[in-house]
Structure 1
Amino acid sequence: MKEVKSYKSIHTFLQFVLYFGFWIQLFGCLDLQSEVAPDRQFQQSIYLLDRYYYWSSEEVKDPVSIPNNVWQKMEPNRLGFESLKGKYLYIKFSDQFVRQLKSPVLYAEIALEQFKLFQGKEFVFESRLQDHFFPYIIPLNQNPAGSLIIQFQSRYHGFIGMDRKVFFKDHSIALVDLFLENFSETFFAPILLVLSIIFLGFYFLRKREIIFLNFSILLFSAALLEGLNGFVGFSLSQFSYIVTPLTYINFSFFPFALLLFLIGIFPPFFRNLFKILAGLHIIVFIISIVSNYENGISFLNSEDDYNWVIVLEAVITILSSVYVLIKGNKNLRTITLGLLFIVIAGLHDILVDLELLPHSQRIIHFGFFMMLLLFGFYVFKHYWQLLHSINRMNAELRKKNKELQRLIQIDKDLALAHALQKSLLSSKYNEDDRIRIIGFSQNLESVGGDYFDHTKDSMGNWAILMADVSGHGISSAMVAAMSKMAFVGAGAYLQFPSRVFHSMNRHLVGKTKNLFITASYVFIDTELYTATFSNAGHPGFFLIRNSESEVIHLNVKGKPLGLFSHIPYAEDTVKLMPGDKILLYTDGIFDLLNEIGESFGEDKLKSLLWDNRYQKFQELAAIVQDSLFRFSSGWKYQMDDLSFLLVEIK
């Protein structure tokens, strides 16, 4: 078997991407977003000027005409109010600073609603966008007109005015500052996108590792959140009708992407808890969207309405995470810390928007970065453990292959014996216009004591035998061959199950050297739709009928073959219906163990058959085989030969 490579080139590339992203984000969080000295940046904050406001129930076409005595002075550090329905808000401040700038602009970090800007009597700008969060860089006349007046008409219920930073700046400096303030997010987003594609590739390489797909989705959603704001949002403002809905929809999708990742990792209780939170989130989100449908959907009003449910989710998630950190699996601590970073950062952002906390520094991007860094560490650790486990498996296989070379002659003999035994078995699939049969056999060793047979008489009826020789290995396989010959010798009595067993037992007694055979035999009359059956110390068989309330277990008493001479065998008959399925099996299925020593057992087999009773015939056979395989971790904990025959009545 070819050794799996360690993918060193991919490892090196991923390390470079992570280190580069780390230093960009750290540099952006600590330096680029810090305040630069006003004299060096050559700007003037509007909050350092005297500002005045005026409410009007009607739109004033010429705001300069508003009398001076109606203007009221604003409080420090304020440029907005709570909305008053049906009223216009006017805010006035001096524009004398523009004379010091070569190409003056008014820079607004976030502008939430529609507004108009007047420089003196001149109308200089109008924003017609709604539900947006892009920065604005508005050109001004270099010659001051005495004042700037902004008229606001808001659709946002919670706030009217401008939010965060508003400055007089030079146009080129404003563009550079906007770029620098969003440097980490702008360059971190492509890194997240590249990582998303890489982990998507990992998923397609190993489709059973769903963690790679979930992490890829999470990275992609995070890339959109980081990219579609700030400098990129400003650059794409002409496409706001696409960018804004996409961003707000992604705001609601990101918790689902996060939950997809966490649900596959956390214990069952927390999985169910996260599912409930996700369902509550989407219900409240839809209700808020519908309730704010006025001249088009208002995402901002919707966000304001469902902030409370986000706070609730954050509090519950924090408490759950703390519990997992204290009492949970140690392997989950990295994931839990990452979850705490993003939840606490998101909660801080919401509480700032609700004005329950003062705005000083936005930590949401830092929380984003720490979450993805810790989640990424967990996924990479899982990835390397997977590679190392494959390499260890390959090393073990190479060692075993060397050992097998010393036993090659025995192996050839066993292969020949296996081929000879296989020739004694009936085919694993048979079908006519009345019946279908699928068989499966898994020996504990190269050869075994399980075998099945099915044959059709001249009238189109079917005789079906499932047999199990005690023990396993070569001796059991030889006795199985003897019982096969005994069954062939009983061909004249196929329609009489008890006589078949009596004939077989007569030929086997005294010849099996303390080994014995258990068997279950069914004769199916395809004209009368009946099954006549007998049993020789075997577990019996199951009848799956959709009209019944459960799987039916059919059995009659009988001694094993080869032990006692001149013993009778009972038989019974059951009526069949089109669509009925019959499962004959050996007790090796019941003795199958999993990694913690639990046996598969009769009840689990009955439940498996009943839960999948509506599956198609071949799919049901495949489900039974796959369930046995997965239960024993690929036959790793098989204790005996096992076989089954699945029969369907058309």
Structure 2
Amino acid sequence: MKEVKSYKSILIQIQFVLFFLWILFFQNCFDLHSESKVENQFEQSVYLIDRFYFWSEEEISDPETIPNEGWLPFEAKSLGFKTKTKEYLYIKFSDQFIRQLQSPILYSEIAIERFKVFQGKEIVYQSDVSDFIFPHLIPLNATPQGSIYIQFQSRYLGYIGMDQDVIFKNHSQALIDLFMENFSKTFFAPVLLVLSFIFMGFYFLRKKEMIFLNFSILLMSASLMEALNGFVGFSLRQYSFYIIPLTFINFTFFPFALLLFLVCIFPPFFRNLFKLVAFVHVIVFLLSIFRHYEDGISFLNSEEGYNWIVVLEATIAIFSSIYVFIKGNRQVREIIFGILIIVISGLHDTFVDLEILNHQFRIIHYGFFLMLGFFGYYVFKHYWELLHSINRMNAELRNKNKELQRLIQIDKDLALANALQKSLLSSKYNEDEKIRIIGFSQNLESVGGDYFDHTKDSMGNWAILIADVSGHGISSAMVAAMSKMAFVGAGPYLQFPARVFHLMNRHLVGKTKNLFITAGYLFIDTESYTATLSNAGHPSFLLIRNSEKEVKPLTAKGKPLGLFSHQSYEEETVNLQPKDKILLYTDGIFDLLNEEGESFGEDRLKSLLWEYRFHNIQDLSSILQDSLFRFSNGWRHQMDDLSYLLVEIK
């Protein structure tokens, strides 16, 4: 049955949203800052004064020389036009309001052109900075001169003139109003910056979690946007050569950073889509910059060229977020809410720039605030759960420490068992004037169930045994040790292979706990140059004789040791020749796999032995070991213990 979300959980989320709506209302109360009487601000607005304009193809050094009949009245609520190429725009309005002010200034919220301000005949202000989106505080003479003239020379293709509010104010009051308007931004920016460093720290603690790095970059970009687009940016206007490019580049970088963040939390299809859109975003931005490189880059003109990609990105992010919200993991729903809010608010402001929506107010700042609220709620919830799990984690840590101590002891025991097992094995090299023996063993774990032995009797004959206990690990190693003891007990009968297996089997039956042993035994009579062998369910021996046409298997019938109490074993005898080589091995060689899952197999083993049959026994053993090692990619695909003994007749 599908789990139903509790009313308590829904209530918490509703309370959370209402809390932030209250915060926004409180913040808006700060934004209703200025003079205590709204009428006072309204009466000082330049938009209520008779305003006139004049176009000129040449610069006029004294606007008062322009004839009165050349001035044309502005339409209501207007102080600008579409740009005319290579023409100057002059604006004129009365300065009579300054009589009411002690230290009068002309406050212009945004003026993006290069312009000069005349009070009467006197130039009182001159701006040579392009793309300047911060307010201008233009000082005026306290004595009215009749008219104020503003001369504009614009590089901005879309608009020329004054933009938004233009108001007469006292200088001190204007600074206070500007600070209060941007109070939340000025306060919000360092909060975002601190959070950015916190998440950067999370990334360095867990470098595999790219979501922390990308979220840190996103917060840092938002912090710069909030700081440089408010009172701080205005205060740094003397460094406008650096501040303006940084501000505009960050405007463009923020959507890119948001796309990188979305890559970390969305399903694979959307990740690839966002990567593609992020790549296109960078290309479109660079092309737009290069297209508008005239006497220096104009960012505001470039903005017209890449706003469409921002709209496309926002549309994709909205639909993707809705999909993930409905189908995705509930744990990231708070993040999805934050993403939807910031994307929709950014899309609104982009539509304002494209003049699709009429300008009333920008909401990107509120989007940042709510985005941080939802992301902060997500992080708070995560760490609240973490705090409640501290006791459980401490208990688990204590258990892990006990387990670690137990594992350390097991490792010590395994190391000791490995040393003991090596002491049970015969040496890996032995020889006399008649034969030479080389052995090799590679366990799957620290200890294994493979075991080989070779011993020489008083007559100079050799008894050679190789055994493989079923399974691997400690239990198999213990049974292998039992096999060693059983073989030692059969010492008086070494020249009779079937008798040796009969005695070993009688000793092992009922003591191996469902484990069994396959074994092969070879007795070499060095006087008659004959080899007698028996087999207990083990792979056949391989005889490598240069005079033969191929590798010859040597086998005899018999069942594994330790299974049946009354079991007989056959013997087979073969004549030996000088330079003959015999390979005794366990089936771990056949079970060895490569990266494609192919087994080494018997045919591959025979082919290798036949190809290098003329090599001496040391070289042949080295070639065999190297081939097994490379085939399994450094024993990475070993499935069982493997061992072999290579015997050469001199």
Give the TM-score category using the shorter length.
0.5 to 0.7
* Corresponding residue for residue 30 of structure 2: 32
1:572 matched to 2:608? The reply is yes
> d(CA) in 1 for partners of 2:155 and 2:449?
77
Q: Distance in 1 between matches of 2:64 and 2:642?
A: 93
Partner of 2:366: 366
CA distance in 2, matches of 1:238, 1:287: 29
Distance 1:251 1:533 in 2: 75
SS of 1:92 mapped into structure 2: strand
In structure 2, relative to structure 1, the CA distance for the partners of 1:475 and 1:442 (3 Å cut) is closer
Whether 1:161 and 2:129 are equivalent positions in the alignment is no
Give the superposition deviation at 1:158.
Answer: 1.2
SS of 1:58 mapped into structure 2: coil
Q: Deviations over 1:351-374 (max 9, x none)?
A: 112222122222110001111221
> Counterparts of 2:210 and 2:474 in 1: how far apart (Å)?
42
Distance (Å, rounded) in 2 between the aligned partners of 1:334 and 1:300: 34
User: What displacement does 1:202 show?
Assistant: 2.5
Q: 1:556 to 1:399 in 2, by over 3 A?
A: closer
- For the 8 Å contact 1:117–1:149, the answer to whether it is kept is yes
Q: Structure 1 pair 509/419, CA: closer, same or farther in 2 (3 Å)? A: farther
Query: Are 2:607 and 1:555 equivalent residues in the alignment?
Result: no
The 3 A distance-change label for structure 1 pair 204 and 165 is same
AA of the residue aligned to 1:84: K
**Which residue in 1 is equivalent to 2:513?**
none
Distance 1:508-1:178 versus aligned 2 partners, 3 A rule: farther
Is residue 542–residue 583 contact of structure 1 (8 Å, CA) maintained in 2?
no
Q: Contact 2:591–2:639 (CA<8 Å) still a contact in 1?
A: no
Matched with 1:536 is 587
Matched with 2:86 is: 86
Q: Which residue of 1 aligns with 2:137?
A: 137
Cα 1:552–1:54 shift into 2, 3 Å: same
Question: CA shift at 1:41, angstroms?
Answer: 5.6
1:421 aligns with 2:418: yes
Q: In the alignment, which residue of structure 1 is the partner of 2:270?
A: 270
Counterpart-to-counterpart distance in 2, 1:280 and 1:197: 29
Tell whether the 8 Å contact from 2:256 to 2:278 is kept in structure 1 after alignment. yes
Which residue number corresponds to residue 52 of structure 2? 52
Deviation at 1:542, TM superposition (A): 5.7
Query: Partner of 1:464 in structure 2?
Result: none
Residues 190-238 of structure 1 deviation map (CA, whole Å, 9 limit, x = unaligned): 1111122222223333333333222222211111111112211111011
Choose which of 531, 538, 542 in structure 2 pairs with 1:498.
542
**CA spacing shift, 1:26–1:571, aligned 2, 3 Å:** same
- The alignment yields a C-alpha RMSD, in angstroms, of 4.6
Q: Who is 2:301 aligned against?
A: 301
Distance 1:476 1:362 in 2: 76
Partner residue in 1 for 2:183: 183
Counterpart residue type for residue 416 of structure 2:
A
The answer for the alignment partner of 2:322 in structure 1 is 322
Paired letter, 1:33: D
CA–CA distance in structure 2, aligned partners of residues 441 and 210 of structure 1: 40
CA deviations on 1:63-101 (whole Å, 9 max, x unpaired) are: 111122122211222122111111111111111101110
State how far apart, in whole Å, the 1-side matches of 2:257 and 2:108 are: 32
Change over 3 Å in CA distance of 1:48–1:379 after alignment to 2: same
Structure 2 CA distance for partners of 1:442 and 1:85, relative to 1, 3 Å? farther
Residue 128 of structure 2 aligns with which residue?
A: 128
TM alignment of 1:500-515, pairs within 5 A: 510-511=560-561
1-structure distance, mates of 2:70, 2:628: 89
- Is the Cα–Cα contact under 8 Å of residues 189 and 223 in structure 2 kept in the other structure? yes
Indicate conservation of the 8 Å contact 2:335/2:375, yes or no.
Answer: yes
Describe the shift of the 1:287–1:469 C-alpha distance in structure 2 as closer, same or farther (beyond 3 A): farther
Residues 452 and 217 of structure 1: CA distance in aligned 2, closer, same or farther (over 3 Å): farther
**Structure 2 unmatched runs, 5+:** 1-15, 424-440, 453-466, 488-517, 525-530, 532-539, 545-550, 565-582, 613-622, 644-650
Q: 1:167 to 1:396 in 2, by over 3 A?
A: same
Secondary structure class of the residue paired with 2:602: coil
Structure 2 Cα separation of the partners of residues 114 and 337 of structure 1: 41
Q: Secondary structure at the match of 1:357?
A: coil
Query: 5+ unaligned residues in a row in structure 1: which ranges?
Result: 1-17, 427-438, 454-466, 515-531, 545-550, 559-568, 586-608, 610-616, 626-639, 646-650
Q: Which amino acid aligns with 2:24?
A: L
Q: Write the letter of the residue equivalent to 2:266.
A: F
Q: When the two structures are aligned, how many residues end up with a matched partner?
A: 511
Instruction: Give the C-alpha shift of residue 571 in structure 1.
Output: 4.9
Equivalent pair of 1:285/1:306 in contact (CA under 8 Å) = yes
Residues 210 and 642 of structure 1: CA distance in aligned 2, closer, same or farther (over 3 Å)? farther
Cα gap change, 1:79/1:40 in structure 2, threshold over 3 Å: closer, same or farther? closer
Relative contact order: is structure 1 or structure 2 higher (C-alpha 8 Å, sep ≥ 6)? Answer: 1
Percent of aligned pairs sharing the same letter: 53
How far 1:376 sits from its partner (Å)?
Answer: 2.8
CA distance in 2, matches of 1:504, 1:175: 103
Instruction: Say whether the 8 Å CA contact 2:520–2:584 is kept in structure 1.
Output: no
Once residues 442 and 206 of structure 2 are traced to their aligned partners in structure 1, the CA distance between those partners, rounded to angstroms, is 28
Do 1:42 and 1:169's aligned partners in 2 also have CA atoms closer than 8 Å?
Answer: no
Task: Tell me by how many angstroms 1:299 deviates.
Answer: 1.0
Structure 1 residue 378 displacement after superposition: 2.6
- Name the counterpart of 2:578: none
Higher alpha-carbon deviation: 180-189 or 395-404? 395-404
Contact 2:288–2:305 (CA under 8 A) maintained in structure 1: yes
TM-score (norm. length: structure 2): 0.68
Instruction: Give the Å deviation of 1:115.
Output: 0.7
* Separation in structure 2 between the aligned mates of residue 511 and residue 49 of structure 1, nearest angstrom: 113
Instruction: Give the Cα–Cα distance (whole angstroms) in 2 for the partners of residues 256 and 533 of structure 1.
Output: 66
| 1:475-500 deviations in Å (ceiling 9; x for gaps) | 2233466899999999x99xx98369
User: For the Cα contact (< 8 Å) 2:589–2:601, is it kept in 1?
Assistant: no
**Distance change (3 Å), C-alpha of 1:497 and 1:542:** farther
| Match in the other structure for 1:212 | 212
1:514-556 deviation digits (Å, cap 9, x = unpaired): 9xxxxxxxxxxxxxxxxx9987265554668xxxxxx694622
Residue of structure 1 equivalent to 2:511: none
CA distance in 1, matches of 2:379, 2:589: 49
Checking the alignment, whether the CA contact within 8 Å between 1:53 and 1:91 is kept in structure 2 is: yes
SS of aligned partner of 1:91: strand
Q: Which residue number corresponds to residue 103 of structure 2?
A: 103
Contact 1:114 1:127 in 2 (8 A): yes
Return 303-312 or 327-336, whichever deviates more: 327-336
- Secondary structure class of the residue paired with 1:137: strand
Q: Distance in 1 between matches of 2:241 and 2:408?
A: 71
Alignment of 1:369-408 (within 5 A): 369-383=369-383, 392-399=392-399
Partners of 1:133 and 1:533 lie apart in 2 by 87
AA aligned opposite 2:68: N
TM-score by length of 1: 0.68
Distance in 1 separating the partners of 2:360 and 2:641: 70
Residue in 1 aligned with 2:223?
223
Query: Would the aligned equivalents of 2:113 and 2:129 in 1 still touch at CA under 8 Å?
Result: yes
Letter in 2 for 1:557: E
Contact 2:321-2:339 at 8 Å conserved across structures: yes
Is contact 1:266-1:332 (8 Å) kept? no
